[in-house]
Amino acid sequence: MNIVVTGATKGMGKAIALLFAKHGFNVAACARTQADLDTLKGELIALHPSATIITSVCDVSKKEQVLQFAATCKSAFTKIDILINNAGVFVPGNIHNEPEGILEQLIDTNLYSAYHLTRALVPDMIKHQHGHIFNICSVASKNAYDAGGSYAISKFALYGFSQNLRHELKQHKVRVTAVLPGAVLTDSWNGTQLPASRFINVDDVAKLIYQAWEVSDRTVVEEILIRPMEGDI
């Protein structure tokens, strides 16, 4: 089995890559920093010594780099079972006064990356009548909140992309799941004074994604909505 994960060297992406490798998957991973990819590759091989591990430096906000990563994945794997569109960036702000260009930056990273990578890889899934696409959205995809700004706009858009993709691909037996986490303890929260107990653990997100993958082909988990036990932050 083969999985593709974007933004795979930190947070949720890394937890997902490690868990699937532990379960015997070959992994294609991208991120922006070669050193982080080298570290990840070592950890993946330690979990699954016989695995094929593909790592690529990729800034997913750049279409040409996304398409190059897609070409690398297709060259390495005869088929792709799972695509995890995880890469994203969070910039807090308010629509009326956030810096110029923030919307474009967040749409490029949080939406267009998933759009272009999916379009590049899904034809083979359709050909095989098999595959599962997970789009890492957010609770911000459904509810407005303070300082959401363009981040929330981009995540609303990614959720809409997921819904329409699910509708289009059901006839081709390709599953689509939108994952909507609340506050997850990742590098985005560096410096916070809140205790770890107020956040979702990245491993819990990875486990739920794996469980959604494990259900039979006659079933699809369309959404995974996850919040900290004590509620949103």
Residue 51, class by beta-carbon neighbours within 10 Å (0-12 exposed, 13-18 middle, 19+ buried)?
Answer: middle
Catalytic residue among 112, 115, 151, 159: 151
Residue 11 near residue 31 (C-beta atoms within 8 A):
no
Give catalytic status of residue 115 as yes or no: no
Q: Where are the alpha helices (DSSP H) in 48-175?
A: 63-76, 102-107, 113-128, 149-169
Token pair belonging to 156: 């609303």
Say which DSSP state 99 is in: P
Residue 30 near residue 6 (C-beta atoms within 8 A):
yes
What is the set of active-site residues? 151
